[in-house]
């Protein structure tokens, strides 16, 4: 008999997440080698999906997923975006920001182009609501998991299609990260050949080291309570504003097609906006006591609840989607490469700007630290900017792809 109690299912998911992250810190050679090839994020999706697919749990009637998307997701978006440091991002220099935004543009252009191209090459691959599934991938590749989950709800993507897009996301994105790490290993040689000026990177490295030392401190109970109050208080405010706002668009056919009549659309937009506005205030200091870490905990609970909705047997029913994903990411990479060459930008800006889009805060620091450990926060800064842009840009990309598919 499958487990039907939400309390037991939630306990199982929490224990699973705890076990995954415990093993990521294990000194065992087995786990060290395992996580070198298999990101923890994969297991956070895969194991809950395995529980559901094998009949261990019954996810069909569980309330955990609706609760996670309605309550945890808005709080996650607020806590991940309130740490944006716009002055620090500006100090990265125009090249870093331009290349990051070029990567975002590459996703916004590459998605619709890939949909159009594969619609010509293999119409069955992108038939039906595949465009909506691709919108969730745009959310992930511009922002991160929270934006991806938001687009799933905004565009009403069914669980099987979403599962396939998660598989495309994980496999294609990780292959891309391997390529970027290869570039990091040859960065000195490549920068010399292109004539890139890397002096700013050395200054940036020193600045980021100093920033961490000055702002990080041990969190106390009042700090954690303020983080929870801001995250969930902002979530409540998002609901309060979103419901009447969405109701105002009911009955307007154009507005409904653009998701403006969806209260969930307004919830994620308002939550993201709250986080961005808070980043301009003293509230951003809560990042020094782990606001984004609390947000990330909520995010992984959300990811596990999404995973348990997936049917692993359906993931490979449309293998052509992997070709769509590869086409898409090559457009993104090609556009970044062209702009980087024109600007004579260092490989560091190109690699980190790309991964901040594709991999978000989970892996952008990994690529940044491949150049120097103290540069890891640069990856975080750009990735957090991606969280802020992900909700808006993925929605626009989804609307363009909807128009192409119609």
- Whole-number pLDDT of residue 129: 87
SS3 57: strand
Read off the pLDDT of residues 226-263 as tens digits, 9 standing for 90 and up.
999 999 999 999 999 999 998 888 877 777 666 677 78
CA–CA gap between residue 140 and residue 151 (Å, rounded) = 9
SS3 3: strand
Strand ranges (DSSP E) for 337-394? none
CA–CA gap between residue 47 and residue 43 (Å, rounded) = 6
Domain definitions of the chain by residue range = 65-405
Q: Which helix (H) or strand (E) holds 400?
A: helix 376-405
What is the CA angle 315-393-90, rounded to 5?
125
- DSSP-assigned letter for residue 82: T
Q: Residue 216 contacts by C-beta under 8 Å, 6 or more apart in sequence?
A: 288
103, 353 Cβ separation under 8 angstroms? yes
- Whole-number pLDDT of residue 251: 77
88, 209 Cβ separation under 8 angstroms? no
Q: Taking the alpha carbons of 95, 97, 98, 104 in that order, is the dihedral positive or negative?
A: positive
Query: At what angle are helices 29-37 and 6-24 packed, to 10 degrees?
Result: 100
pTM exceeds 0.85 for this model? no
The pair of structure tokens assigned to 233 is 């208080």
Q: Comparing C-alpha atoms, which of 228, 205, 237 is closest to residue 377?
A: 205
- Whole-number pLDDT of residue 144: 76
- Whole-number pLDDT of residue 22: 95
Q: Residue 236 contacts by C-beta under 8 Å, 6 or more apart in sequence?
A: none
Residues in the chain, pLDDT under 70: 88-89, 91-92, 197-215, 256-259, 314-316, 360-363, 365-366, 369-370, 372-377, 380-381, 384
Q: Residue 171 contacts by C-beta under 8 Å, 6 or more apart in sequence?
A: 322, 325
């Amino acid at each position: 008999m499958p487990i039907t109690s939400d309390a037991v299912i939630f306990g199982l998911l929490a224990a699973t997440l705890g076990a995954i992250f415990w093993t990521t810190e294990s000194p065992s050679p087995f786990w060290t080698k395992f996580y070198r090839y298999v990101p923890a994020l994969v297991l956070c999706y895969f194991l809950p999906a395995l529980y559901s697919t094998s009949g261990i749990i019954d996810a069909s009637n569980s309330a955990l997923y609706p609760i996670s998307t309605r309550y945890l997701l808005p709080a996650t978006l607020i806590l991940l975006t309130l740490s944006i440091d716009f002055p620090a991002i500006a100090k990265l220099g125009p090249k870093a920001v331009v290349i990051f935004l070029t990567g975002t543009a590459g996703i916004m252009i590459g998605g619709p182009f890939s949909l159009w191209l594969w619609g010509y090459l293999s119409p069955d691959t992108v038939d039906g609501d595949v465009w909506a599934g691709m919108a969730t991938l745009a959310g992930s590749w511009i922002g991160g998991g929270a934006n991806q989950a938001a687009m799933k709800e905004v565009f009403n993507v069914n669980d099987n299609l979403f599962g396939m897009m998660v598989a495309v996301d994980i496999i294609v994105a990780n292959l891309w990260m391997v390529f970027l790490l290869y570039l990091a290993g040859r960065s000195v040689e490549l920068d010399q050949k292109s004539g890139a000026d890397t002096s700013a990177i050395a200054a940036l490295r020193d600045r980021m080291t100093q920033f961490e030392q000055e702002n990080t401190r041990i969190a106390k109970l009042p700090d954690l309570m303020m983080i929870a109050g801001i995250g969930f208080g902002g979530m409540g405010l998002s609901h309060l504003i979103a419901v009447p706002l969405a109701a105002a668009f009911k009955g307007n056919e154009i507005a409904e097609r653009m998701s403006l009549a969806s209260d969930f659309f307004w919830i994620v937009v308002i939550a993201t906006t709250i986080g961005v506005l808070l980043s301009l205030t003293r509230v951003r200091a809560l990042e020094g006591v782990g606001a984004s870490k609390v947000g990330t905990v909520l995010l992984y609970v959300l990811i596990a609840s999404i995973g348990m909705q997936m049917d692993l047997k359906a993931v490979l029913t449309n293998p052509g989607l992997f070709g769509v994903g590869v086409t898409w990411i090559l457009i993104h990479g090609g556009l970044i490469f062209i702009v980087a060459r024109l600007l004579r930008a260092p490989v560091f800006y190109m690699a980190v700007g790309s991964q901040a889009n594709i991999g978000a805060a989970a892996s952008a620091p990994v690529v940044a630290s491949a150049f120097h450990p103290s540069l890891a926060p640069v990856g975080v800064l750009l990735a957090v900017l991606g969280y802020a842009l992900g909700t808006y840009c993925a929605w626009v990309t989804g609307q363009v792809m909807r128009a192409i598919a119609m």
